[in-house]
Amino acid sequence: MKHLLHILAFTFAAFVAASCEYEIGEVGESSKHQLIINALMTAQGQDNYVELNLTGTTKTTPVRNALVKIFINGSLAEEATSDTCIYKIKSLFASGDKVRIEASDGQHIASAETSVPETVTVVSVDSADVRFDNENYTRYFIKIKDPSSLKETKYYRLSVVREKNWVSGSSYIEDECFYYSYSTDIDNKYSYYSDIALSEGMSKKSKDYENMDAIELVEEVKNVFGLFRSSYFSNGEYTLNIDLKEWWGLSQKGGTEDIHFKIRSIPESEYYYLQAVSVFQNYEEGVMLTPAPIVPSNVKGGTGIFSVSAMTEKTISRGKKLEISDKTW
């Protein structure tokens, strides 16, 4: 969560430096400084933080020793302060809660409100082996259900965490193993091009540079944050299709893998904010047909983003960890 906050803060500073097209207006040294609230929190999360900064022409300034207030359904739930620009939030939230934040450093005051969306249900997870681009993949079909999407468009984020473990060393005495050493790797990569919702508005870029008809003038914007919406749902249900590259460790004795599929229901404001961040990562100033980044904000009296998502998680385990009686060869 802290890592994401730093990315968002850096991105906002770069927005200010690179573009003059904003919803909040141009920010310059002669302009009045504004308080930036960056907070993408998760209901029932133990690692929720708020980051505070002040706007500037080319960089932001950290705001320390400010006062952050959290209100839940109109009642004050928490006050937080910090000697850094990162403020830990201990309050827990539930779907349906209306959450408000107020931040003040003595000179600047900013506030924002959001509603916690309903959590989706993971109905099932199936898989099949596929091969493309000369690589072996496992395609996962993640069926989800959200009855609230029948009433209005809902917004979501998909993240995948692959926790890989393999035997990196062992010791034997007369063919009897008495010690195993395991190594762990975390992988967050997955391919979403087989899914219509995750690849909305995107297409694989052609590498046929000699054929002018095959070259896309508008650069592809990658779905960095796994964003999708309920426009593709049927009767409140949808099946995500994602591909994970086959891992060599599963063919080794003792290789195991835990795959965590995390699906967050997010407010509309978070959806469009993260879309803007994704666009910025592909932005080239002065290049024809390159869209200028626009900074959406739901913060009053300042700028930034304040959001609380509701997450559900499904874990799939593969492989078998070695027991003390097992031999690696």
Helix, strand, or coil here: 250? helix
Spell out the residues 6+ positions from residue 211 whose beta carbon is closer than 8 angstroms to its own. none
Which residues have CB under 8 Å from 158's CB, separation 6+? 192, 198, 226, 228, 240, 242, 261, 262, 263, 264
Q: Do residues 40 and 33 touch, judged by C-beta distance below 8 A?
A: no
The pLDDT value recorded for residue 140 is 96
Q: What 8-state DSSP symbol labels residue 2?
A: H
Note the pLDDT tens digit of each residue in 34-80.
999 999 999 988 899 999 999 988 889 999 999 999 999 999 999 99
pLDDT at 207: 45
Q: What is the pLDDT of residue 57?
A: 83
For the stretch 80-118, pLDDT in tens is 999 999 999 999 999 999 999 999 999 999 999 999 999
**Cα(71)–Cα(74) distance, integer angstroms:** 6
Domain locations in the chain as residue ranges: 2-116+267-308, 121-263+314-319
CB 184 within 8 A of CB 277: no
Distance CA 121, CA 123 (A): 6
Average pLDDT, the chain: 82
Q: What is the pLDDT of residues 211-250, one digit of tens each?
A: 444 444 445 678 989 999 999 999 999 999 999 998 877 7
Angle in degrees, 0-180, between the axes of helices 2-18 and 268-280, rounded to the nearest 10 = 60
Nearest to 318 by CA among 249, 241, 245: 249
Name the pTM for this structure: 0.81
Provide the phi-psi class of 236: left if phi over 0, else alpha when psi is between -120 and 50, else beta. Answer: left
Structure confidence by residue, pLDDT tens digits, 241-285: 999 998 877 777 778 889 999 999 999 999 999 988 887 776 555
